[in-house]
Amino acid sequence: MSETSTQAPSEKTSSAPTSGEAATSVVDTIFDLGFGWAATGLKLGKTALEQGAKTLAQTAKALETLAAELEKKEQHESKT
C-alpha cells in the first residue's frame, strides 16, 4: 500500500521577500553605492594630484627660467 502525504510543504512558495531578505538587499545596495562613490573619489583624487604635479613642474620651470634671466642680467650689468 502506498502512502500519500497530506501535509503542506514546509517551505514558502511565495516570491515576496521576507523582511530579512529586504533588509539584506538594502544593505547590499548601500554598500555597492558606497564602493562606487569611493572608486569615483579615488579617481578624482588621482586626477587632482596629477594636475597639481603638472602645475608644480611648470612653476618650477618658470622659476628656473627667471633665475637664469636674472643671472644673465647680473652678469651683463657687472661687465658694464
Q: All 3 cell numbers of residue 1?
A: 500500500
Q: Is residue 6 part of a domain?
A: no
Q: What is the pLDDT of residue 15?
A: 62
- pLDDT at res. 24: 87
Domain containing 30: what range? 26-80
Please indicate, yes or no, if residue 10 is contained in any of the structural domains: no
Per the domain annotation, does 17 fall within a domain? no
Handedness of CA 31, 33, 36, 41 (dihedral sign): negative
pLDDT for 78 equals 82
Cα 53 from Cα 45, distance rounded (Å):
12
Q: What are the pLDDT digits (tens) for 34-77?
A: 999 999 999 999 999 999 999 999 999 999 999 999 999 988 88
Q: Are 46 and 38 in contact (CB under 8 A)?
A: no
Residues 6+ apart with CB under 8 A from 25: 17
Cell of 24: 539584506
Total number of domains in the chain: 1
Query: Phi and psi at residue 3, in whole multiples of 5°?
Result: -100, 135
- The string of pLDDT tens digits covering residues 4-43 is 545 555 555 556 667 778 888 999 999 999 999 999 999 9
